[in-house]
Amino acid sequence: MAELLGMGVTHAPMFQFPDENMADILRRFMKSPHLPDHLKDVRHWPEPMRLEWGDDEGLTSARQHRELVVNGFRRLRAELDAFHPDFVLIWGDDQYENFKEDIVPPFCVYVIDQLDCFPFRRSQVINTPINVWGQPEDKVVPVRGHRKAAHHLARELILNNFDVCYSYKPHHHPGLAHAFMRTLIYLDYDQRGFNYPIIPFHVNCYGSDLISKRAATDFADGEKAPPAPTPRRCFDLGAEVARILQDSPWRAVLIGSSSWSHSFLTGKHHGLYPDVDSDRKRLKELSTGRHIEWRNLEPETLTDAGQHELLNWLCLAGAMADRKAEVVTYAETYIFNSTKVSALFQP
């Protein structure tokens, strides 16, 4: 039986850019005409948010936030190297990058030999093109895939009644979506190189919000695009992936990549700050070995908390249902868009 190592990480954009820009998502949102005027005044923010903002617009907090999260990346990379996998599978989402009005699959396995990617391009939500490594935006990074294992996985999933899509090349995006690329560059934060083949595994975490809020498609009043796959389906798919790979000849690292609650998705807070209370509930469940309970979460529970992207972790939770997680990092925040978590599921 092949061995599997599980990891949960974040692909939040701010760690690619200087400390001074880590709160840019909040700065941009404070100018939004949709934000109530009273919340544009720092005095009306929750007290923990005001303290995190401080008298330097969050710069001190940014340095602390980065140190905590990057140390988690380094720990996970050390564990990955020690495990020495044949490939790394990454469950990640797409934010109107490869999948748009012409096709939005619930799941998609990328079957690639090698793909030239551009991981250091600027972010639309960060106000600088300068990255912390001093890399040019147009630097091409070749990413190796594991075609044989990806074919095997997609085939076995379909034969076992998980009707996943598969793709041999990017669709609208010039490379892989940011969820996959930032996972790779963060696990190589010290720029030593990341030479492991990968299997990118797309999950439509944003569901109705992907098209309804981002696309040019017209919608009648009250009409919405179809939803994301349910937590139950993501959990069960992750469990089936683990079963298939355990019966294969390959050692694999399985990664669920996302932050947890996102401020801009948390409507009840007007998009200003994430649902940290809900993140704490998920943390308690994870740290006490109760992540199997995530299978029973209602889709509305996740979307109400702005935890849309937790579906990537739901796939990981299903794959690691019989293991207890070691929580490596829990970086709660009000001003840096989302709570970041890193976790390990040892064999």
pLDDT (0 to 100) of residue 174: 87
Q: Which residues contact 321 (CB under 8 A, 6 or more apart)?
A: 235, 239, 291, 292
- pLDDT exceeding 70 applies to what percent of the chain? 98
pLDDT (0 to 100) of residue 118: 93
pLDDT of 1 higher than 90: no
pLDDT (0 to 100) of residue 332: 98
Least confident interval from 115-129, 205-219, 257-271, 285-299: 205-219
* DSSP-assigned states of every residue in 49-76: HHHHHTTTTTHHHHHHHHHHHHHHHHHH
Pick the more confident residue, 134 or 208. Answer: 134
- Determine contact, residues 346/82, Cβ cutoff 8 Å: no
Identify any residues that bridge with 255 across adjacent strands, giving them in sequence order. Answer: 7, 90
Three-state DSSP state, 248: coil
Give the Cα-Cα-Cα angle 328, 277, 16 (nearest 5 degrees). Answer: 50
Q: Which phi and psi (to 5°) does residue 273 adopt?
A: -150, 155
Q: Which residues contact 324 (CB under 8 A, 6 or more apart)?
A: 289, 345
Pair of tokens at residue 315: 């796939």
Q: Which phi and psi (to 5°) does residue 292 adopt?
A: -60, -25
| Number of CB atoms found within 10 A of residue 141's CB | 18
- Mean of per-residue pLDDT scores for the chain: 95
Mean pLDDT over 237-264 rounds to: 98
Nearest Cα residue to 88 out of 7, 29, 2: 7
Pick the more confident residue, 286 or 216. Answer: 286
Let me know if 199 is exposed, middle or buried by CB neighbors in 10 A (0-12, 13-18, 19+): buried
pLDDT of 92 higher than 80: yes
pLDDT digits (tens, 9 = 90+) for 20-68: 999 999 999 999 898 999 999 999 999 999 999 999 999 999 999 999 9
- Per DSSP, 166 falls in state E
pLDDT of 245 higher than 90: yes
Local confidence band at 72 (pLDDT 50, 70, 90 cut-offs): very high
pLDDT (0 to 100) of residue 213: 63
Instruction: Compute the radius of gyration of the chain from its Cα atoms.
Output: 19
pLDDT digits (tens, 9 = 90+) for 182-238: 999 999 999 999 999 999 999 999 998 887 666 666 777 777 889 999 999 999 999
Domain covering 4-345, topology: Protocatechuate 4,5-dioxygenase; Chain B (3.40.830)
pLDDT of 112 higher than 90: yes
Mean pLDDT over 10-24 rounds to: 97
